[in-house]
Amino acid sequence: MQCSRCSHLMSISDEHVAEMDLGQSVTVKQLNCSSCDKCVALSFSDAWNTPEDILTDDTERNGWFEVSSPRDRVVCYALSQIMYRQFEVPEEEREEAIFDQPDPTDIVMIFWLKGQAIGFYTIKPKGSLVERTMEHYAMHTLDTAYVRSVKRRQGYGMRMLQNITSSYPGNDIGFSKPISFSMWKVLRKYLQHNADYRNKFWEIEGTGGEGNQKLIWYAIKFQDKKKKTLHNE
Ligand SMILES: [Zn+2]
């Protein structure tokens, strides 16, 4: 198989294959390039496929679908750990963090566009437990979110927020810190058009308990005020 990053030819040998546990008894094998160390192919149920092929589905699905099948878990892995982490490399200065694998209690949603997986988000449901601290999430919380770079600035971020608010109508929604620059832009736009949610979106630290939540609309207004003051000085 040929590496799509550096064109190096790879044979499938154990020395470059790692087995990844995706939870709920799903595993995937990953072949990494011996030259650039990026993923060349993934194997799930025996056949080897490029990460791009894994993201293509012959069902022509359109819209948001909750991850339920083992194959969907592999799609999510390809998006979060290969596309985002290796190929489109998060920018730390834009507050883009590396994602952990979702916990079994997380709700994982993938956006499909004519059978192509182009993004995903994960929700920590209200009440879910963090075993390390024994704390429970105070509200439904958006923990990780990603849209493939070729599909950015086309309204998918807005569709993500619309999907979240329609899944939990009228509920408070948390957004885990750090919130990326691009997510702040989407939040600003969403709240400008949806006044009902201005007192329901929270930037949260940890599980968002008391003292660890800040109203997002307030933070946006505060930034605007600061900009104005700087401008007038
Ligand atoms: Zn390579």
- Gap from CA of 117 to ligand 1 centroid (Å): 23
- Gap from CA of 6 to ligand 1 centroid (Å): 4
Q: Report the C-alpha gap between 90 and 175 in whole angstroms.
A: 18
- Gap from CA of 36 to ligand 1 centroid (Å): 4
Q: Percent of the chain scored above 70 by pLDDT? A: 100
- Gap from CA of 148 to ligand 1 centroid (Å): 20
Q: Report the C-alpha gap between 183 and 137 in whole angstroms.
A: 21
For the chain, what is the mean pLDDT?
A: 94
Q: What is the pLDDT of residues 168-212, one digit of tens each?
A: 999 999 999 999 999 999 999 999 999 999 999 999 999 999 999
Q: Quick one: pLDDT at residue 64? A: 97
| DSSP per-residue codes, 48-81 | EE-HHHHTB-TT---EEEE--SHHHHHHHHIIII
Helices (H), ranges, 138-215: 156-167, 181-193
Q: Quick one: pLDDT at residue 59? A: 85
Label residue 230 by pLDDT band (50, 70, 90).
confident
In order of 85, 138, 142, 167, 197, the CA distances from 171 in angstroms are: 31, 11, 13, 9, 9
Locate the domains of the chain by residue range. 1-50, 55-232
- Domain 55-232, classified CATH 3.40.630.30, yes or no: yes
Label residue 23 by pLDDT band (50, 70, 90).
confident
